[in-house]
Amino acid sequence: MSMPSDPSATSTRITRWLCCPECHAPLTVNGSEILCPSSGFRGSIRDDVAVMLPEATESFFDDTFEFMMHGKLNPGDWSFGYAQQIESLTRSLKPGMLLVDVGCGPGLPYARPDGVEIIGLEPSFKSIRVNRQVDLRVLGSAYAMPLADASVDAIVCFYAIHHMVGDKVNDSISNLSRAFREFGRVLKPNGTLFVFEMTPIALFLCLQALGWNLGRRLIGKKLDMRFFSAKEVKAIGEQTLPRGTIHEMTEFKVSPAQPSHLFSACPGLEFRGSCTRWHRGFTNGECHPSERPVGGHVQSNECLPRAA
């Protein structure tokens, strides 16, 4: 489904849905200028994209764009990477919800569910400017989301967290922790976070642990991915998401005989065979009913301690 661009609708959505990525204050839009009167942050509207990164020059994630556009998915790749995951995502979405697709790339792998509004957040300008399936295109990053506290119903992140790398393994862990803190901040009470990601086999993880820092030193930003183990993602979620968040881990298994070329074209690395066989969806579910804040104006999405 393709969304027509309409400058006045874009400005309205920016003021309605977005806030300053630095101080979270409301924004003003004047023509193509976006301004935070509190911090002085300036963004812009370019090609109908809300540019919310301080500098919107070339992003090295622009490389991913070529792959995302030209890597045609075969049916095997689809069942491996998306079919079951999308079913689990769309089952939870209801009309009236606001969904943020973090690292949405140039196109959504799922049909927009009826009545659900979608913000696409993406640090590659090349990618986000051609994504016509979202209601608002935002050039931005998961590390500093231009969204107010407790403002969205759901977040989905398809295969983006393995790109949240820094120069060392520990930087990648801090980056993902920053992203998760942001996810916890912007989700409404009872909101849901879906993180779909590959979890490579143990041998691959061992090799990655031994060689990633060196690889990054040698080939720099060409090594633009590092895979988290399911255990690491769970631990980061537990440390960063609001108290009382329920974690659900679902393993999406595919046949070991399944050929997959889905990830073979990523720059800098080539994956084939068993390391891409296992998928886990990491779902950060709702507060337990006894932990939901009741009544009043909710400032944060922190769940209340469970009643004894």
Ligand X SMILES: C[S@@+](CC[C@H](N)C(=O)[O-])C[C@H]1O[C@@H](n2cnc3c(N)ncnc32)[C@H](O)[C@@H]1O
Which CB sits closer to ligand X, 43 or 123? Answer: 123
Give which of 97, 99, 178 is closest to 141, Cα–Cα: 178
Choosing from 98, 138, 147, 160, the residue that interacts with ligand X (CB under 6 A) is: 160
Q: Tell me whether residue 172 or residue 208 sits nearer to ligand X (CB atom).
A: 172
Task: Tell me which of 103, 146, 191, 244 binds ligand X, using CB under 6 A.
Answer: 103
- Binding-site partner at residue 122 among ligand X, Zn ion, none, CB < 5 to 8 Å by type: ligand X
Span from 30-38, 149-157, 158-166, 283-291 in contact with Zn ion (CB under 5 A)? 30-38
CA atoms within 13 A on the CB side of 284: 32
- Contact window for ligand X (CB under 6 A) among 3-11, 18-26, 141-149, 287-295: 141-149
| Residue from 11, 127, 199, 284 in contact with ligand X (CB under 6 A) | 127
Pick between residue 10 and residue 141 the one whose CB is nearest to ligand X.
141
Contact pick of 11, 131, 133, 141 for ligand X (by CB under 6 A): 141
Total residues contacting Zn ion by CB under 5 A comes to 8
Tell me the C-alpha to C-alpha distance, in Å, between residue 167 and each of 172, 233, 246: 8, 19, 31
Judged by CB under 6 A, the number of residues near ligand X is 21
Alpha helices (H) along the chain: 7-17, 62-70, 75-78, 84-92, 125-130, 169-186, 202-219, 230-240
Query: Can you tell me the distance from the alpha carbon of 267 to that of 269, in angstroms, rounded to the nearest whole number?
Result: 6
CB count within 10 Å of CB 112 equals 17
137 vs 279: CA distance, rounded Å: 28
The DSSP H or E segment spanning 28 is: strand 28-30
Q: Which does 127 bind (CB under 5 to 8 A by kind): Zn ion, ligand X, none?
A: ligand X
Tell me, letter by letter, the H, E, C secondary structure of 198-249. ECCCHHHHHHHHHHHHHHHHHHHHHCCCCCCCHHHHHHHHHHHCCCCEEEEE
Report whether 68 contacts 60 (CB < 8 A): no
Q: Could you tell me which stretch among 20-28, 86-94, 136-144, 209-217 binds ligand X (CB under 6 A)? A: 136-144
- Residue 104 in the binding site for ligand X (CB under 6 A): yes
Q: Which residues bind ligand X (CB under 6 A)?
A: 61, 64, 68, 102-105, 109, 121-124, 127, 141-143, 158-160, 163-164
Q: Which residues bind Zn ion (CB under 5 A)?
A: 20, 22-23, 25, 36, 38-39, 41
